[in-house]
Amino acid sequence: MPRISHKGLELPQSAIRKLVPFADATKAHGIHVYHLNIGQPDIETPKEALEVLSEKAHEMAQNHGVLAYSPSAGIQSYREKLCQYYKMHGIDITPERILVTTGGSEALQMAFTCCLNPGDEIIIPEPYYTNYNTFAKLCDAKIVTVPSSIESGFALPLVDDFERYITPYTRAIMICNPNNPTGYLYSEKDLYAVSALCKKYDLYLFADEVYREFCYDGEKHFSVLNLPGCENNVVLFDSVSKRYSACGARVGCVITRNSELFSAMMRMAQARLSPPTFGQVFAEAAIDTPKEYFDAVMDEYVARRNVVVEGINKIPGCFCPNPKGAFYTVCELPIDDSDYFCQWLLTDFEYKGATVMLAPATGFYSDPEKGRHQVRITYCLCIEDLKAAMKCLEEALKVYPGRIKVKAKAASKTVKKSSPKANKKAVSKKK
């Protein structure tokens, strides 16, 4: 039997999906599972955009149309419309800088491949989005992490901390803003600091901004595309997945003003021919989604976040920061081993016929030990379910055999509540 490649052997299993078989078994026994483990929003996809796709497919059927390859860089009218979208967010960009990809994932893969040589290093504040590991592995690059701490809500580490990790092999600094998995929203000042470092050491600044819209409590998002003087350093990853609750569209993009890099990514794009046509038709129409849709969505997420943050902080021994963006939070629980706890929830626990599925934070750290007492919680469920899930988690912690003592940060926790109204105002101002 022919052997598989070293990469084939070493590609990591998804930290988020590895508990799925246990969840399936639990469901098979009639137990309801509250999914707080995956970033699959339950928010309705904008119906206007779905109707546009429906009409276009119908027209194609009626007119003997051909579902052709799109251009490798994406449908031209979509790239132009994307520029309008970015303009609404105060970002000035032209279509020839935008390469449409199959989801944000392909954007990451193209940029990593065209920027990083084997052995090159990318510095990332941890905890960080686990799938970056696979894309780094695919080009034999190495992820080097700078710790951020739960006490500060996972704020950006100090520039000195970053600088300490820079070696001759460092090729990029990567920022996910707002952050998955922590929900932290980096400020304009934070990004200027990172960009100064990138300029000083001639590094790429990779930025994953797929949660751009998801900013709460009146906070505003600042894009790396608006950093002056680092046009050749900045590479932006984007996606319509979360923005329009359209994860299945598989449409993203990579944007850079670095022409040499763009041209290399284009050659890679040509080999895979084109991104999905239906998804692009949908995504182009989705740019016209009315502002009211986003206002309602942001209000809903603020309310959900509040349920989770308050729910967890009132459980003895737990600590949850108050994230300002995305729909994740990493919190600390009084548990001996988050991998075991998350599995135990599925295999050995139920409360009123239900249990909770969480993502162990071990998979979001370079050293799993750092996430041993932490879990990532996604607040993609409706308020009622989230409340039930919080109650379930509370009961679980009462009986979990591996419960450990309360730490200092959990004892001294303070949580600031913010109202949906304040956020609504912020969303209105942004547009």
At residue 191, what is the residue type? L
- The Cα-based distances of 378 to 16, 148, 334, 354 in angstroms read 11, 19, 19, 17
Q: How far is the CB of 18 from a second copy (least distance, A)?
A: 9
Structure tokens at 66: 């051909």
Q: Is the peptide bond before 127 cis (omega within 30 degrees of 0)?
A: yes
Q: How far is the CB of 8 from a second copy (least distance, A)?
A: 3
Interface pick for a second copy out of 26, 37, 102, 289 (rule CB under 8 A): 102
Q: How far is the CB of 37 from a second copy (least distance, A)?
A: 13
Q: Is 50 in the site for a second copy (CB under 8 A)?
A: yes
Interface pick for a second copy out of 21, 24, 25, 42 (rule CB under 8 A): 42
Distance separating alpha carbons of residues 111 and 175, to the nearest angstrom: 14
Backbone angles phi, psi at 354, to 5 degrees: -145, 160
Q: How far is the CB of 61 from a second copy (least distance, A)?
A: 4
Q: Is 55 in the site for a second copy (CB under 8 A)?
A: yes
| DSSP states along 148-179 | --GGGTSPPPPHHHHHHT--TTEEEEEEESS-
Interface pick for a second copy out of 21, 24, 25, 40 (rule CB under 8 A): 40
Q: Is 27 in the site for a second copy (CB under 8 A)?
A: no
Beta bridge partner(s), residue 99: 254
| Residues 222 to 241 in contact with a second copy, rule: CB under 8 A | 232-233, 241
Q: Is 105 in the site for a second copy (CB under 8 A)?
A: yes
Beta bridge partner(s), residue 32: 354
* Total chain residues near a second copy (CB under 8 A): 88
Encoded one letter per residue, x for contact with a second copy by CB under 8 A and - for no contact, window 355-394 reads ----------------------------------------
Buried b vs exposed e over 207-231: b needs ≥16 C-beta within 10 Å? bbbbbbbbbbbebebbbbbebeebe
Q: How far is the CB of 329 from a second copy (least distance, A)?
A: 21
At residue 412, what is the residue type? S
- Entry field: residues in the chain: 431
* Residue with Cβ nearer a second copy (266 or 404): 266
Q: Which stretch binds a second copy (CB under 8 A): 270-278, 303-311, 339-347, 359-367?
A: 270-278
Encoded one letter per residue, x for contact with a second copy by CB under 8 A and - for no contact, window 58-77 reads x-xxx-xxxxxxx-x-----
| Residues 204 to 223 in contact with a second copy, rule: CB under 8 A | 204
3-state secondary structure string across 81-128: HHHHHHHHCCCCCCHHHEEEECHHHHHHHHHHHHHCCCCCEEEEEECC
| Residues 250 to 269 in contact with a second copy, rule: CB under 8 A | 250, 258, 260-261, 264-265, 267-268
CB 145 within 8 A of CB 366: yes
Interface pick for a second copy out of 103, 153, 181, 363 (rule CB under 8 A): 103
| Residues 167 to 206 in contact with a second copy, rule: CB under 8 A | 171-172, 202-204
* Residue with Cβ nearer a second copy (114 or 287): 114
Helical spans, DSSP H, in 165-241? 188-201
Structure tokens at 10: 């070493």
Q: How far is the CB of 117 from a second copy (least distance, A)?
A: 5
Distance separating alpha carbons of residues 106 and 129, to the nearest angstrom: 15
Q: How far is the CB of 345 from a second copy (least distance, A)?
A: 21
| Residues 279 to 338 in contact with a second copy, rule: CB under 8 A | 279, 282
| Residues 108 to 147 in contact with a second copy, rule: CB under 8 A | 109, 113-117, 120, 131, 134-135, 138-139
